Amino acid sequence: MTETGELLRNLLMTAWLLPLAGFVVEIFFGFGLFSKNPRHSKGAAWCAVGCIGTGFVCSLIALLVWVNKTGGHDTYEADKGVEKGWMSVIADHNHGLHPHGDGEHAEHSEHEDGDKDHAAGGEQGHEAEGDTDSHDDKDAHAKPHNEEASIEGGEWQLASVTAEESEEHSETEDSRSAAEFPTAFSGRLYTLGEFGSLIVSLDYYIDSLTIVMFAMVTLIATCIHLFAIGYMSDELTDDYVDHFAHTSDGKHVHRPGRFYRFFAFLSLFCFSMLGLVLAGNIFQVFVFWELVGICSFLLIGFYTERKSASDAANKAFIMNRVGDFGFLIGLMVLWTYFGTFNFADINDEGQVTGGLFSMISRSTEGEDLGNVRVDEDGAVLITSPEGEVLQDADGNNRTIPYALLVVAGLGVFGGCIGKSAQFPLQTWLPDAMEGPTPVSALVHSATMVAAGVYLTGRFYPMFTAEVLLTIAYIGGITLFVAATIAIVATDIKKVLAYSTISQLGYMMLGLGVFGWAAGLLHLITHAFFKSLMFLCSGSVIHGCHHEQEMPKMGGLLKKMPITAICMLIGVLAIAGCPLFLGLHFSGYHSKDAIVASALAFSEKNPGHFLLFALPLITAGITSFYMFRLWFMTFWGKPRDQHVYDHAHESPWIMCVPLLILAPFAWLCAYGGDQGDLYVMLTKDAPAHIENGVTAVGDGVVLPEIQEMYNQHEAAGLWALTSAGIGFVLAFALYGMNLVNLDEMKKNLGAAHGFLANKWHFDDLYDGLFMRPAHKVAAFCAWVDRTIFDTTLHFLARLMVIIAQWDRIFDEKVVDGFVNLIASATGDFGERLRVFQTGRVRQYVMFIVVGVVILFAVVFSTFPG
Amino acid sequence: MATLNAYLLVGAVLFVCGVICMATKRNGIGVLMGVELVLNGANVNFVAFSKFTSLGLDGQVFSLFIIVLAAAEAAVALAIALNFYNNHLTIDVDRGNKLKG
Amino acid sequence: MSSTDFLLVAIIFLPSVAAGAIALMDGKAVGTIRGMAFASTVVTFVLTLFLWGAWSGANADSPGDIVLLCEAGWIKSWNIYFRLGVDGISLPLVVLTGLVSMLAAGASWSINKQHKGYFILFLLLETGMMGVFLSLDFFLFFVFWEVMLLPMYFLIGIWGGPRKEYAAIKFFLYTLIGGVLMLIAMLMFYYGSGATTDSFNLIELANAASGSESTLSEFLSPETQVIAFVLLFIGFAIKLPAFPVHTWLPDAHVEAPTPISMILAGVLLKLGGYGIIRIAFPLCPYGAAVAAWWLVGIGVVSIIYGAFAALAQTDFKRLVAYSSVSHMGYVLIGLGVWSIGGDAYTAASRDYWLMGIEGAMFQMVAHGVSSAGMFFMVGVIYDRVHHRDLNKFGGLMGKMPVYSGLAAGLFFAGLGLPGLCGFIGEIFVVLSAWQFNSTLAIVAASGVILTAGYILWALQRVYLGSEYKGPHEEDITPINPREKSIAAVLLVFAIGLGVYPAVVFDMMKDSTANLTETMEQGYENAVPAVAEEEPVEQAQAMNN
């Protein structure tokens, strides 16, 4: 482990563990330690903000360190000319082909400045590194460039203190140092359990995706924490009246405020989420996966008095568990065939043990199946970090059946379906809006639900072509279904919730059609603009005194201008609007990238045309329902005068986070596929996505990265047209009120009802799973009570009956025999009583007679 | 010379007389006298057998034992009779049937 | 008597001595009796910690062996010895027993009649439990096994709920049947161990079974091993309890007073698993390999069946009882995932089995903590409102926030939430199961959904909601310090084990590694014997 690695690890671990410490402090001491009147204290909130804020600072430092280091790497590679990797090729290509506006030029020069900075920083970083392992560095430099570039999977190699310092492993080092500056750091935190050769541990894994995610999560979380201080301030009371919870006599529930508890849960969530991102193995991801799940459960159900809230919390957790069931199956397969969960190779006391990502190696040679190396039987070969096939104790090649690799991929993706609310497990997310709005912004739009996408991206090297196709179709279905429901939703948060599902579908689709970077870029941009929009909606709800129905709003632009403008920025971003003040909105870049990937994919695979058509149509729908939301809320005349009269702009502590997030929502992806964010993300792109995958048999063809770039222009045009139509429609219907909406609703009653009932998924699941489950449960309980216990009682009764027979036998037969002997003896004595006269003279007679008889008998028997 | 049979005959007569006496007398003393007769009948036999066989003095010794026994028995029996009389004011043995089972 | 001998003997008999002292006390001095009983359980717990220390020293010298042996003649004419010892398999359970007994004694403040008798029986029960875990002589093991039975019978039958007699008798008869089967197996081993070594010594018998000290011909034949294993397994499965011999458990739990439920779930159920791993496995390795399928199959059925049954309960305590059935199913799976004899069995497969065994052992410890906690939490609310109908609770989060928070933590531990103890055992067992059989592994894994379902639903009905819907609302008072500390200790253990499970794995890893190796040896020794017999049978068939 280099010094940089240790520094990064320490920074990120600080950012990760601080919220945990915050949670402990807040949950135990948050109530009462900071103030004389504990229910009125904001101490817990500031503690939470402090923790996550410090975490953000740490993440930012880590980001800068990383940029410095990898920037150096970048320039070093650039020296190598043609072999320098695809990134600069793309950059060149874009210089030539991409239509740059004036603003783009300015942006580009900025970008170059950035590059220079990077280069400078990189030199420094290089020198710093040189101190520790200078001779290795020299070795590396001495090697011919092409050899370095040809080493497979070099991007995933690691450097570690032990390996570098140990002379014995110089060979490994040589191959290792090819990576120059390692693009991923991984190491072990501690071991959970060790079983022979199997080790389950907690690790960390730091690459550019980790760092970007850390920066994004901590930034958004900090903003949302601040926002929540304002939003949750009505909890700062001894007598909180919950207008949505009723007792049986119809009164509102009164309870003490729970301000500190909210922030404690938020802190716990931040800890779990950051742990998920930092996790160095898939098992650890699962651990934190569940933890974010339970935090989500706690936060959705924050208003415990509301039945709807606790129902929604249960639904969220249980549906996530359904996905996790798939995840678990994936884990079992991986564990059984690979024997490790680690993403990257771990250098454990001088021994390099391969991680999952180097165990599946890709090859472009003829023997491949979906670009995975297989043996002659079609089983996938498991390889060492050096690309050699591993062998088991008997000397056979270690393999995993191809089908099981697919199962593993689908299983892990199953977890992502649950967490990211993809079809068919999407129904929990809209219900999750029962939670306070900051929770919806943080957990259910920006971070936790994006974890599914993150994992799909993280686990990309393990997905086969079939899995990717499934991912693409799941994403495609989800994005379309959710968008259609969003059209008819009237609750402002529900619209955003369906929009979230739809956008997550976009990301999945992007990943599925081999647009790795596109999907993850959209993850980041979406996090910013969706959290912005949720906070804006929170601001509206707060300003309108907990009114969430859009039909009761309207014209709020005048009352709350900051919120309205920020919301507009978010809407423009999600709709994929280009060019505003010369700068593209982030959503334009990311959605364009996804649509371009989809277009490239569907050109290669004409049979999968839907994968391009769905996102394209949905781009229009997205634009339509988002503008519908904005127009209904902020535009036109007030529909409910009472709400309008009482509406007010939110206090500064809620507006500041909006103002912080708005520029990010607008500009975070600036520069598009040559912007800093994109370049940084793609730095550690899985090795095999560059060349695409050629089809084997009927399989799908995955396009090369180059082909996607070729489609940017066309795709951008298509998407823009679609979004434009959506905007025009929305403006016509809701901005100018050209059509009577009620009449339209009546005419399209069936369709509207179908959409308003969310495609009847809830009813379907209720009938398909919930009720049968309860039936089976009742049956099991019935079996236990009746079958088992009845059998048991029958046996017991049988025993009693046998015992009764036994008693009868004992009493009648055994005792009867004994009594018979006794009574016979008695009877005999009774008979003899007759002779016992008591008269002496008779006795003498008896003796005489007796003697005579005796004599007679003796003499007759023995005559003579 | 009297033969063994003669002695045995005397003994048998004595014995039968004694038995009849015991069986017929209601007077307790009478019964006792019958007992004495039976015992003496037996004595005669013992002595006779002793005389006419090679038993030596065994029969005579037995006779002496029987005489002593008879004396003791008589003493005990008389005491019983006395008590019987005290309780029943008679020595009619038929009156004493307490041993009836 | 060396100091370690003294330690072992003291752990077992200190509670009995205290019970004797209590017997001499005035029955009206309730406070003194309680204090005395609680103090003795605390001392016992501390002694188990000392035992841990002594063990780790001794284990370092001979990793994985049974150490700290204490041996004394008892009935020598029958080769019966008073033989105690501890290894990495029994140690975690001994410590767990000490802990749960201590906490249950603390929870016994709610007992409100015949205190003297109660605490005497309670302490005798602890002696029995410790004795079972520490004895290394089959006969002694059996004696302690039966010693536990009677106190338990009276504790349920006298201090229990409305149907206490029924529950007590059901419990007693079930366990007794198991004990009888065990007795038969015990005699099979005694006479099967060879004319020279008629013995109840578990170590010797295990060595004989593995073929490491005597040749196999002197020990049980493979067929007899299978029979012996089945007898032992039924006996232990009743205690575990596994489907379909589990029906004593819900009744016993529902009727037993709270502290006894804690002991029952926290320790007594573990005796089943412990018996399998300490006796049934090492003494009949071949039988274990043959029956592995049944173990895993029964385990899977227990998980699913128990979870479904729990989902349908309306009695809070009954729900927790069925959750025990479900959770103990993982123990059977973990123990049973021994794919030896299969085509795919390699050296690596043994590591997965090792993981399964350790996962199962961990699950036992974890379940001891979480289920004791859950039962205690049910008891706390029952003491206040005197009912357990899930549909007549609600809103406790507002009325008893601290209690509800602690309860939520403990129930999450039962739910198998990462970071809490329940997760580690379940997940390791499930992960080890795929190499044995993928279908069974998938079915077992599906238990996570059902578990989440019934626990969350129960939490919602009891703790969440706008108001309390049952009787005695006025009696709902905040949790008192005694209850709070008991729950907190359990929760701390739940978190500690969940975050750093290596503390338990480190305890048992040498012993379990030894166990798997010797059992493999034993199986391989038995296989030729089976192979020899088959040709003979074929020849006979041909002659016929």
Mean pLDDT of A193-222: 87
What are the C-alpha distances in Å from A857 to residues A47, A835, A847, B9? 125, 21, 15, 22
Sign of dihedral through CA atoms A178, A179, A185, A188? Answer: negative
Backbone region of residue C334 per phi and psi (left: phi > 0; alpha: psi in -120 to 50; beta: other values): alpha
Would you say residue B70 lies in a domain?
Answer: yes
ipTM of the complex: 0.90
Rg (CA), chain C: 23
Domain boundaries, chain A: 1-67+190-463, 68-189, 472-756, 785-854
* 8 Å CB contact of B19 and A833: no
Q: Which chains have 3 or more CB–CB distances shorter than 8 Å to chain C?
A: A
Residue count (chain C): 544
Q: Which chain C residues are within 8 Å of A191, Cβ to Cβ?
A: 502
Stronger pLDDT, A142 or C3, i.e. the higher one: C3
Asked if C192 and C222 count as a contact pair (C-beta separation under 8 A), the reply is: no
Closest CA to C350 of C176, C175, C214, C523: C523
% residues pLDDT > 70 (chain A): 81
Closest CA to A268 of A314, A240, A302: A302
What are the C-alpha distances in Å from B21 to residues A476, A529, A844, B37, B91? 139, 145, 10, 9, 15
pLDDT at A540 over 80: yes
**C499 touches A: beta carbon within 8 Å:** no
Per-residue b/e over A596-635, b at no fewer than 16 CB within 10 Å? bbbbbbbbbbeebebbbebbbbbbbbbbbbbbbbbbbbbb
* Nearest beta carbon to residue B22 from set A833, A838, A841: A841
- HSE-up (13 A, CA, CB side) for residue C297: 6
Q: How far is B15 from chain A (nearest CA, A)?
A: 11
For residue range A498-528, what is the model confidence (pLDDT) as tens digits? Answer: 999 999 999 999 988 888 888 888 898 999 9
Would you say residue B85 lies in a domain?
Answer: yes
Q: How far is B27 from chain A (nearest CA, A)?
A: 10
Residue C45 has what pLDDT? 93
pLDDT at A400 over 90: no
Rg (CA), chain A: 38
Residue A175 has what pLDDT? 37
A200, A318, A332, A333: best mutation site toward chain C, by most C Cβ within 10 Å? A332
Q: What is the extent of the structural domain holding B63? A: 26-90
Q: Which residue of B has its CA nearest to A845?
A: B23
* 8 Å CB contact of B94 and A839: yes
Tell me phi and psi for residue A38, to 5 degrees. Answer: -60, -35
Q: Which chain C residues are within 8 Å of A777, Cβ to Cβ?
A: 308-312, 454
Asked if A203 and A188 count as a contact pair (C-beta separation under 8 A), the reply is: yes
* Residue A530 to residue A247: CA distance in whole angstroms: 35
* 8 Å CB contact of A836 and B25: no
> What's the domain count of chain B?
1
Residue C302 has what pLDDT? 92
For residue range A751-801, what is the model confidence (pLDDT) as tens digits? Answer: 777 777 777 787 888 777 878 888 888 888 888 878 888 888 888 889 889
Q: Provide the pLDDT confidence category of residue A349 given band limits of 50, 70 and 90.
A: low
* 8 Å CB contact of A848 and B19: yes
* Nearest beta carbon to residue C501 from set A193, A253, A297: A193
For residue range A105-124, what is the model confidence (pLDDT) as tens digits? Answer: 333 333 333 333 333 333 33
C positions 416-475 inside 8 Å of A (CB): 417-419, 423-424, 427-428, 430-431, 433-435, 438, 441-442, 445-446, 448-450, 452-454, 456-457, 460, 463-467, 469
Q: Provide the pLDDT confidence category of residue A821 given band limits of 50, 70 and 90.
A: very high
* 8 Å CB contact of A307 and C509: no
Q: Which chain A residues are within 8 Å of B99, Cβ to Cβ?
A: 836, 838
For residue range C38-76, what is the model confidence (pLDDT) as tens digits? Answer: 999 999 999 999 999 888 888 888 887 888 788 888 888
Closest CA to A486 of A728, A759, A720, A745: A759
Q: Which residue of C has its CA nearest to A788?
A: C247
Which DSSP letter does residue A770 get?
I
* Nearest beta carbon to residue A788 from set C244, C417, C427: C244
Give strand pairing partners of A242.
A253
C positions 230-269 inside 8 Å of A (CB): 244, 247, 250
For residue range C230-265, what is the model confidence (pLDDT) as tens digits? Answer: 999 999 999 888 888 888 888 889 888 999 999 999
* Residue C364 to residue C333: CA distance in whole angstroms: 12
Mean pLDDT of A837-864: 84
* Nearest beta carbon to residue A784 from set C247, C423, C450: C247
* Nearest beta carbon to residue B100 from set A836, A845, A848: A836
B16, B19, B21, B39: best mutation site toward chain A, by most A Cβ within 10 Å? B19
Tell me phi and psi for residue C194, to 5 degrees. Answer: 100, 145
**C478 touches A: beta carbon within 8 Å:** no
Asked if C288 and C519 count as a contact pair (C-beta separation under 8 A), the reply is: yes
Give the burial class of A88: count Cβ atoms within 10 A of its Cβ; 0-12 exposed, 13-18 middle, 19 or more buried. Answer: middle
Q: Provide the pLDDT confidence category of residue A596 given band limits of 50, 70 and 90.
A: confident
Angle at A81 (CA atoms; ends A79, A82), nearest 5 degrees: 155
Lowest model confidence (mean pLDDT) among A415-419, A837-841, C365-369, C377-381:
A837-841
Counting CB pairs under 8 A, whether chains B and C reach 3 or more, is no
Mean pLDDT of C392-413: 88
Residue C301 has what pLDDT? 92
Would you say residue B78 lies in a domain?
Answer: yes
**Number of C-beta neighbours around residue B55 at 10 A:** 14
* Cα A523 from chain centre: 13
Residue with the two structure tokens 């009813």:
A763
* A/B interface, count of CB pairs below 8 Å: 35
What does B6-73 look like in DSSP terms, one character per residue? Answer: HHHHHHHHHHHHHHHHHHH--BHHHHHHHHHHHHHHHHHHHHHHHHHSTTTTHHHHHHHHHHHHHHHH
pLDDT at A133 over 50: no
pLDDT at A177 over 50: no
pLDDT at A68 over 90: no
* Residue A825 to residue A827: CA distance in whole angstroms: 5
Residue A602 has what pLDDT? 85
Q: Provide the pLDDT confidence category of residue C540 given band limits of 50, 70 and 90.
A: low
Q: Which chain C residues are within 8 Å of A314, Cβ to Cβ?
A: 456-457, 460
Which DSSP letter does residue A177 get?
G
* Residue C336 to residue C436: CA distance in whole angstroms: 9
Task: Encode A483-524 in three state secondary structure.
Answer: HHHHHHCCEHHHHHHHHHHHHHHHHHHHHHCCCHHHHHHHHH
What six digits make up the tokens of C129? 């439990």
* Residue C376 to residue C188: CA distance in whole angstroms: 41
Q: Which chain C residues are within 8 Å of A778, Cβ to Cβ?
A: 312
- HSE-up (13 A, CA, CB side) for residue A552: 16
Residue A111 has what pLDDT? 39
Would you say residue B19 lies in a domain?
Answer: no
Would you say residue B10 lies in a domain?
Answer: no
pLDDT at A76 over 80: no
Q: Which chains have 3 or more CB–CB distances shorter than 8 Å to chain B?
A: A
Would you say residue B21 lies in a domain?
Answer: no
For residue range C276-307, what is the model confidence (pLDDT) as tens digits? Answer: 999 888 888 888 888 888 999 999 999 999 99
What six digits make up the tokens of B89? 């004011």
Coil, strand or helix at A425:
coil
Residue count (chain A): 864
Coil, strand or helix at A367:
coil
% residues pLDDT > 90 (chain A): 12
Would you say residue B11 lies in a domain?
Answer: no
Residue A86 has what pLDDT? 31
Residue A413 has what pLDDT? 92
Residue C543 has what pLDDT? 55
Give strand pairing partners of A399.
A381
pLDDT at A240 over 50: yes
**Number of C-beta neighbours around residue A666 at 10 A:** 25
Residue count (chain B): 101
Q: What is the rounded average pLDDT for all residues in chain A?
A: 77
Q: Which chain A residues are within 8 Å of B26, Cβ to Cβ?
A: 841
Mean pLDDT of C360-381: 92
* Residue A639 to residue A662: CA distance in whole angstroms: 28
* Residue A505 to residue A55: CA distance in whole angstroms: 30
Q: What is the rounded average pLDDT for all residues in chain C?
A: 86
Task: Encode A692-756 in three state secondary structure.
Answer: CECCCCCCCCECCHHHHHHCHHHHHHHHHHHHHHHHHHHHHHHHCCCCCHHHHHHHCHHHHHHHH
- Tell me which H or E stretch contains A188: strand A185-195
Asked if C132 and C148 count as a contact pair (C-beta separation under 8 A), the reply is: yes
Name the CA dihedral angle for C106, C107, C112, C114, rounded to a multiple of 10 degrees. Answer: -60
Tell me phi and psi for residue A472, to 5 degrees. Answer: -60, -45
Would you say residue B13 lies in a domain?
Answer: no
Per DSSP, which regions of A60-125 are E strands? none
For residue range C407-443, what is the model confidence (pLDDT) as tens digits? Answer: 999 999 999 889 899 899 999 999 999 888 889 999 9
For residue range B45-87, what is the model confidence (pLDDT) as tens digits? Answer: 999 988 888 878 888 999 999 999 999 999 999 998 898 888 8
Closest CA to A303 of A250, A255, A236: A255
Give strand pairing partners of A549.
A491
Tell me phi and psi for residue C203, to 5 degrees. Answer: -65, -45
For residue range A250-277, what is the model confidence (pLDDT) as tens digits? Answer: 888 888 888 888 888 999 999 999 999 9
Coil, strand or helix at C65:
coil
Residue A663 has what pLDDT? 86
Residue A115 has what pLDDT? 38
Q: Which chain B residues are within 8 Å of A844, Cβ to Cβ?
A: 19, 22-23
Counting CB pairs under 8 A, whether chains B and A reach 3 or more, is yes
